[in-house]
A and B are shown apart, each in its own frame.
Chain A
Amino acid sequence: MKVSVFGCELSGLVTASALAQTGNQVIGLPIGNARVEDLRQAMMPREEPGLSQLVKNQMAEGSLLFEEDWRVGVKHGEVLILSMPSWRLERAEEVIEKIGQYATEDVLVVNQSSFPIGTADRFEAKLRLAFAERGLVAKVSVVAMPEFISEGSALSDFIAPDRIVLGSHNAQSIKKIRDLMRPFNRITDQVKVMSTRAAEYTKYAVNALLATRISLVNELANNAEHFDIDMEEVRQGLGSDGRIGFSYLYPGCGFGGPSFASDVKNLVETLESKGYDADLLKTVLSNNETQKEVLFRKAWRFFNTDLKGKTIAIWGLSFKPNTSTVENAPSMKTIEALVAQGAKVKVYDPKAMPDFAVQWTGAPGVELVETMYDALEDADAVFLMTEWKMFWSPDYQLMKSKMKTPVIFDGRNIYDKDVLKEHGFRYFGVGRGESV
């Protein structure tokens, strides 16, 4: 099938390269910052496991091209996919205008982006109007197919999805997209067909529910501390309940990243602007912002409100492992809070240093270091902010020899409090360890 993918950020590139791999002729068209020259050399806007290699391979195969001119994309694709960040709605409108101007036959548009509810219907109406004005007799269909990929596992999420949500009232379109997605829908039928609006809402609802679950677990964990309860034990008890399950039950120092939280925020804003209720979701978001500083607060109390001149090592900057992104990451708020109190921070992250450096290079009190152990030099405490695999089993003796005082604030609960105690560390997790 001939496919054009508008948008060459993470989601667009994953879609384009995965579809190219399964035999489609795909053209990727950047709509934002990504540059065609870079893409043609497989330079990715974000580091993502396996993506760059796959893009390179498909370009070599000739099944994936990148083009500047949107008209080329409009002419090429039997299926036109919009795959953009939620804040790129204006660019999507422009793409729709271009399609309206240059399409010459039936048009099938698939929107993967998290735009406001009703956007797919609106785009379809817009295209119909454009065709009518041109006197073009052609069918128009806009299908909502929200993406459910996560940074760090984006390719595998696309290739082996939990479900494929298709929102459309048009049986022909559904048939065609089903066929396009057939290679990723092998074991059992994962396709859920529904109305376009229901499909769009599903994406928001999934993120809203996950965010709520995380924030609730965090609140339970924070309070477990007050009763000297280890939340890890409680997590076992909770997860074994079939109605609850184990996923998204880890307490920690909050969620971040460019899309997850902003989807929920967009939903809240949409609801509020129309005067609808969003009380719970608003609380979820504000709880999460507070949770991002949970380690700061523990240290604040541990050091008796006096962090001036203290040195804090930061292990992990990205909002989660296997990504180089620090956008909205708990580490950002935490570092800002520490520095504002006159503390010095020494930061280390295996992948996110360049992204971090953009904003923080030269900031007073912030030192970027080369290795995880360099960060510990003369440190009064270490904050574990991102659970990169390399942090799981550190050399405790080496740690102790570097640090001024062996104190660990574990924002992802990856360490064993008893083991650390044996090694002579003070240990503070989220809902476990010592409480302050």
Chain B
Amino acid sequence: MGVEKSSAWKALSSHADDGAASALLMDLFSDSGRSERFSIELEEMFLDYSKNRITDKTLELLLDLAEQQELSEWIVKLLNGDEVNDTEHRPAMHAALRAGGLNVQGKALEVQDDIESEFNKMALIVDRIRSGHWRGYSGKPITDVVNIGVGGSDLGPLMMTNALQTIKSPINLHFISSIDGTQTSNILKNLNQETTLFLLASKSFTTIDTLSNAETAKDWLAEVIDDSNTLLSQHFIGVSTKPDMMTEWGVPPENQLIFWDWVGGRYSMWSTIGLPIALQIGMDGFREMLEGASVMDQHFGSAPLSQNIPVLMGLIDVWNINFLDIHAKAILPYDARLKYLPSYFEQLVMESNGKAVNRDGEKVAYKTCPILWGEVGPNAQHAFYQLLHQGTQAVMCDFIAPVERDDFDAHGLSEKDGSLRYQHELALANCFAQSRVLMLGDAAIPDAIKEQFNSPFKHYPGNQPSNTILLKSISAKTMGMLVALYEHKTFVESVIWEINPFDQWGVELGKLIAKETHSALKDTNKAEEFDASTQSLIKRVI
């Protein structure tokens, strides 16, 4: 029996039909205690979920659904390291990576020593590079580090190092991911072999995207380095679950950092894959990020479901998707440092829950993961907000903003500090204004200017649900909390939908067919079986 036939689901359907689905946010806010009741704070994070089309009754029924789906038990299974990834027969222990030995049990406890010892090795490497004592072939200190990785081996470090860019780093970081090599040739133009170090980050160490870029990097180094041992020992570090494969490629053992197959690629930023983050903010900073995530893990594992931030956010998304028929979600950070956060969440959420088959292998009869996308809010206001305000497609939005900024002196007297303070206020004002207009629509228009909006083209339907997350500031800790929140929220949804969020079979076939297609590019006879469209495309490029 699918969850859609369960009593808790049916109760929510009836609740929706009884008026909850057509309720207007504007009216719901006549309840003066709503904002306080539908918001929650955890250390340096504040979540306002009151701008969702929910009532106390809705939440009660959603919590019933969670209970029916044994969410609490699933949370325990996840955190203890039970085999929650059943199609690949392994646990998903990203939370164990950041537990630091705290309140951890089962398999997650067993791996703590391995994790700590690998982090210790990572710390030595980080200190050596950051202090200028990792030398290139000629003896000059490494100044530039290029991370070659794709997917989870790219996005996490890219997103996090951008978010924490105001922390001054002795190392310039660069990221290469795309298979086509244009990033590589562009980045290498501005770098010097003497002072450049490459990180090869690949869970399997077979990813063609990464290995092809690595070969190009190796060729570039070999233009000036005769000794291949020196080339490898001073200019390559490998991060992978496969030490043998790294050795085979040529990464010397002392330059290898490992992680484990129980770390999903999209959750691997917390492992040694986070090396670029540690290079940027130091190992202490990296550990602060882990601690931030651990704060969220502890909360997720111990807070009652009704007071549990990831649970509430996940359940409300389920309500929006399955009972309010909303199938798009926008991630809208109001700080340019978070520009890669939407891409990061795209991978996290859609690679996890973009599935149509439940854990028993049966096709589900309900919608699962929405289309998720986003952009730095103030930029998106000049782009797709048009659709948010007046399109035919309903969209749920997550607004994310820092309360304070650490890149200028909040009490500084200089004109520049004053201007930056003003800009920060503007950003927050825009953030709050947008969520308000999305909620209220026309009702947000002040009476005095109502006349000017008397036109069908200036009509704002409103009633679009949103969450607003305020972080005290953008720091290693709050970023750790934020990302862990979305990880757990995504897990909560998967439990309701009865799908496995930790595999990604959908991306496998394309990789396989690409190999076949590549050989057809070399030998067109092999393309004969292909469809006419692909054949004609192949002809055009050879």
Q: Is B133's beta carbon under 8 Å from chain A?
A: yes
Q: In residues 274-288 of chain B, which contact A (Cβ within 8 Å)?
A: none
What A residues does B234 contact at CB under 8 A? 305
Please tell me the size bucket of the interface on A: 10 to 19
What B residues does A21 contact at CB under 8 A? none
What B residues does A293 contact at CB under 8 A? 139-140
A305 in complex: contacting residue of B131, B140, B230, CB < 8 Å: B230
A296-309 vs B, CB cutoff 8 Å, 1 = contact: the mask equals 11111100110000
With A305-B230, A305-B233, A305-B234 in contact, do A300 and B131 touch (Cβ < 8 Å)? Answer: no
Q: Is B477's beta carbon under 8 Å from chain A?
A: no
How distant is the Cα of A300 from the Cα of B234 in the complex, in angstroms? 12
- On whether the beta carbons of A301 and B133 are closer than 8 Å, the reply is no
Smallest Cβ-Cβ distance to B135: which chain A residue: A300
Q: Is A57's beta carbon under 8 Å from chain B?
A: no
Smallest Cβ-Cβ distance to A336: which chain B residue: B133
Q: Is B137's beta carbon under 8 Å from chain A?
A: yes
Q: Is B169's beta carbon under 8 Å from chain A?
A: no
Q: Is B138's beta carbon under 8 Å from chain A?
A: yes
Smallest Cβ-Cβ distance to A341: which chain B residue: B133
- On whether the beta carbons of B139 and A301 are closer than 8 Å, the reply is yes
What B residues does A305 contact at CB under 8 A? 135, 137, 139, 230, 233-234
- On whether the beta carbons of B133 and A337 are closer than 8 Å, the reply is yes
Query: Chain A CB within 10 Å — which of B128, B135, B227 has the most?
Result: B135
CB distance from B255 to the nearest CB of A (A): 13
How distant is the Cα of A305 from the Cα of B233 in the complex, in angstroms? 9
- How many residue pairs at the A-B interface have CB separations less than 8 Å? 29
How distant is the Cα of A301 from the Cα of B224 in the complex, in angstroms? 14
How distant is the Cα of A337 from the Cα of B139 in the complex, in angstroms? 10
Q: In residues 296-347 of chain A, which contact B (Cβ within 8 Å)?
A: 296-301, 304-305, 337, 340-341
Please tell me the size bucket of the interface on B: 10 to 19
How distant is the Cα of A293 from the Cα of B140 in the complex, in angstroms? 8
Q: Is A290's beta carbon under 8 Å from chain B?
A: yes
What B residues does A298 contact at CB under 8 A? 139
How distant is the Cα of A305 from the Cα of B128 in the complex, in angstroms? 15
How distant is the Cα of A387 from the Cα of B432 in the complex, in angstroms? 68
Query: Chain A CB within 10 Å — which of B131, B138, B139 has the most?
Result: B139
How distant is the Cα of A299 from the Cα of B227 in the complex, in angstroms? 16
How distant is the Cα of A293 from the Cα of B138 in the complex, in angstroms? 11
CB distance from A183 to the nearest CB of B (A): 49
- On whether the beta carbons of A297 and B138 are closer than 8 Å, the reply is yes
What A residues does B227 contact at CB under 8 A? 304
Q: In residues 134-149 of chain B, which contact A (Cβ within 8 Å)?
A: 135, 137-140
How distant is the Cα of A298 from the Cα of B230 in the complex, in angstroms? 15
What A residues does B140 contact at CB under 8 A? 290, 293, 297
- On whether the beta carbons of A304 and B230 are closer than 8 Å, the reply is yes
CB distance from A244 to the nearest CB of B (A): 29
- On whether the beta carbons of B138 and A301 are closer than 8 Å, the reply is yes
What A residues does B233 contact at CB under 8 A? 305
How distant is the Cα of A386 from the Cα of B9 in the complex, in angstroms? 83
How distant is the Cα of A230 from the Cα of B422 in the complex, in angstroms? 61
Smallest Cβ-Cβ distance to B134: which chain A residue: A340
What B residues does A304 contact at CB under 8 A? 227, 230
CB distance from A364 to the nearest CB of B (A): 14
How distant is the Cα of A143 from the Cα of B252 in the complex, in angstroms? 64
Smallest Cβ-Cβ distance to A295: which chain B residue: B139
How distant is the Cα of A301 from the Cα of B140 in the complex, in angstroms? 11
B114-158 vs A, CB cutoff 8 Å, 1 = contact: the mask equals 000000000000001001010101111000000000000000000
Smallest Cβ-Cβ distance to A306: which chain B residue: B233
- On whether the beta carbons of A296 and B133 are closer than 8 Å, the reply is no
CB distance from B33 to the nearest CB of A (A): 54
Query: Chain B CB within 10 Å — which of A293, A301, A304, A305 has the most?
Result: A305
How distant is the Cα of A296 from the Cα of B233 in the complex, in angstroms? 18
B194-231 vs A, CB cutoff 8 Å, 1 = contact: the mask equals 00000000000000000000000000000000010010
CB distance from A332 to the nearest CB of B (A): 13
CB distance from B270 to the nearest CB of A (A): 29
- On whether the beta carbons of B133 and A297 are closer than 8 Å, the reply is no
How distant is the Cα of A4 from the Cα of B135 in the complex, in angstroms? 52
- On whether the beta carbons of A297 and B139 are closer than 8 Å, the reply is yes
How distant is the Cα of A340 from the Cα of B142 in the complex, in angstroms? 14
Residue pairs across A and B with Cβ atoms less than 8 A apart, 7 shown, are: A297-B138, A297-B140, A301-B138, A301-B139, A304-B227, A305-B137, A305-B234
Given contacts A297-B139, A298-B139, A340-B133, 14 further A-B contacts (CB under 8 A): A290-B140, A293-B139, A297-B138, A297-B140, A299-B139, A300-B135, A300-B138, A304-B230, A305-B139, A305-B233, A305-B234, A340-B128, A340-B131, A341-B133
Interface residues in chain A, defined as those with a beta carbon under 8 Å from any beta carbon in chain B: 290, 293, 296-301, 304-305, 337, 340-341
Interface residues in chain B, defined as those with a beta carbon under 8 Å from any beta carbon in chain A: 128, 131, 133, 135, 137-140, 227, 230, 233-234
Kindly list the 7 A-B residue pairs having the minimum CB-CB distance in the complex, ordered from nearest.
A297-B139, A300-B139, A340-B133, A305-B230, A297-B138, A296-B139, A301-B139
